[in-house]
Every structure is written in C-alpha cells, then in structure tokens.
C-alpha cells in the first residue's frame, strides 16, 4: 500500500517553532513527529510513502532518508517556494510519476491510530473515485463537516452549520489516481477540500466510519494532546485508544 503525506505547508499556527523546523519534525515526546507517523504507517501495513514537501523540505528529506529504518520505501516531491495547495501538490506528485493507481493520502500533521486494512478494502469494493474516513464527532474534537450514511458521504462542507453534519473528516483519504488527474489542472493551486466537496455533491464520495479519535500537531493544543498520549504509550499501536462513544 502507498500513502502520500502532504507535508509542504508553512505551519503558521505553530510559529515560532516552525520558523526553523518544518512541522513534520516538531518534537513529540522526545522524537521528531515524522518518526511517530512513519512508525505507525509501517505498523498499519504501508510499504511505500511519498512525501510531498515544500517549506523546509530538505530538512524532512535529510532526516527521513530512504525510510529503510521503518521498513518503508520513501520518495519525495518538492513543491519549492510555490505551494500549490493540497490537491495541487498531489497533481505535482502524479506528474513526477511516483503515485500508484490507488493510494492513501494523509496530512503531514496527522496521527491516526486506526486499522487501515478495512478502509482499503472498503475503497476497493466501493468502486468510487475517492473515499473519506469519517468520525462521529458531534462537534467534539472540531466543527463537524460531514453528513454520512450507509457508506457514503452525503455532504462535505467546511464552515457550514448543518445539524445533519454530525461527522468530521478524519484525515485519511483513499483515491484513484485518475480522479486527481481529471479534476486538477497541472500547475493549478487547488485544495483537496474542494474536490471532496464536489464529489460529495455528485454522489461519488464513499465514506468509512472509524471509531478512534484523531490526533494532530497543527496547533499547540493538539501537539500537547499527542505528546501526552505518547508519554503514556511510547510505542502505541492502532488499537491503543478505546473507541470514542
């Protein structure tokens, strides 16, 4: 399985820490965050990782290297100074010829302790161009943005107050490569959120409900929560937390 990690952003919410260190290398429980994330991906069964980098990307490349220490094959696509957005970064990676026909996509600040095999199976069986993992959130961890039922995302929209949207985008997606090629022009600045929104409106976005809370280091509070989890369980596995109820 292949996972593309989108790690090119500026990390402005984590300033001043990210002025000299990319977000992916922020310290979490005594280790760079990328170490925790790649260890988890390896445990989940991924064998191939593509890092989409930009801001301070050379530091990520120098630290992670080939990925051999995690049993992974890691390659890189560098956006340089001209960041293209999350979907634009995927399009660039496709142009570089390093993206598989089917692939997972993960944000560079997300730590998602779930079993990914059933997610991959649901995507393969579903026959949709993309799949979004969702959590029954009810505005607990962040603002809910998904209406979901029976394996389909009925609506995905950020910044909208809709009582029907009790779920939240968990942060792990699965895509057919052609779906990005068809919807994102080369060189265009484009956001994955807009693609997910459009696919949900067209009835083309599958969903898979997970039950473990997500962690992120995109905010000081999020980093502190993940640090506390890592301190409790230095080598967590996908079943490390009880289900959210």
pLDDT tens-digit readout, 225-235:
999 998 886 44
Residue 241 lies in a domain: no
Helix axes of 57-64 and 33-43: crossing angle, nearest 10 degrees: 50
The per-residue pLDDT for 4 is: 98
Task: Work out the angle at residue 62's Cα, subtended by the Cα atoms of residues 57 and 64, and round it to the nearest 5 degrees.
Answer: 95
Query: What pTM was computed for the model?
Result: 0.90
Of 74-83, 158-167, 192-201, the range with the lowest mean pLDDT is 158-167
C-alpha dist (Å) from residue 27 to 64, 222, 227: 14, 13, 9
Give the integer Cα–Cα distance in Å for 225 and 86. Answer: 25
Residue 240 lies in a domain: no
DSSP codes joined into one string, 83-116: --HHHHHHHHHHHTT---SEEEEEETTEE--S--
Percentage of the chain with pLDDT > 70? Answer: 95
Residue 94 lies in a domain: yes
Give the integer Cα–Cα distance in Å for 212 and 205. Answer: 21
Residue 163 lies in a domain: yes
Which backbone phi and psi does 25 adopt, to 5 degrees?
Answer: -110, 10
Residue 158 lies in a domain: yes
Residue 169 lies in a domain: yes
Residue 237 lies in a domain: no
CATH code: domain of residue 103: 3.90.550.10
Residue 47 lies in a domain: yes
Of 117-121, 159-163, 210-214, the range with the lowest mean pLDDT is 159-163
- Note down the domain range covering 149: 2-232
- Report the number of distinct structural domains present in the chain: 1
């Amino acid at each position: 399985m292949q996972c593309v990690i989108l790690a090119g952003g500026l990390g402005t919410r984590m300033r001043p820490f990210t002025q000299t260190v990319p977000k992916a290398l922020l310290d979490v429980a005594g280790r760079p965050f990328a170490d925790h994330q790649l260890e988890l991906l390896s445990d989940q069964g991924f064998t191939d990782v593509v890092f989409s980098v930009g801001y301070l990307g050379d530091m990520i490349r120098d630290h992670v290297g080939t990925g051999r220490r995690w049993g992974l094959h890691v390659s890189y696509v560098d956006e340089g100074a001209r960041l293209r957005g999350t979907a634009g970064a995927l399009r660039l990676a496709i142009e570089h010829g390093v993206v598989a026909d089917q692939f997972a996509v993960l944000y560079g600040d997300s730590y998602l302790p779930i079993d990914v095999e059933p997610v991959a199976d649901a995507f393969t069986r579903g026959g949709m161009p993309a799949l979004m993992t969702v959590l029954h959130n009810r505005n607990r961890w962040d603002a809910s943005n998904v209406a979901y039922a029976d394996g389909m995302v009925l609506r995905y929209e950020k910044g909208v107050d809709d009582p029907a949207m009790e779920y939240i985008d968990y942060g792990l997606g699965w895509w057919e490569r052609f779906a990005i090629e068809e919807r994102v022009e080369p060189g265009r600045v484009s956001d994955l959120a807009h693609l997910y929104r459009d696919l949900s409106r067209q009835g083309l976005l599958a969903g898979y409900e997970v039950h473990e809370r997500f962690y992120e280091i995109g905010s000081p509070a999020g980093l502190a929560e993940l640090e506390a989890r890592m301190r409790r369980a230095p080598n967590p596995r996908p079943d490390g937390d009880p289900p959210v109820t």
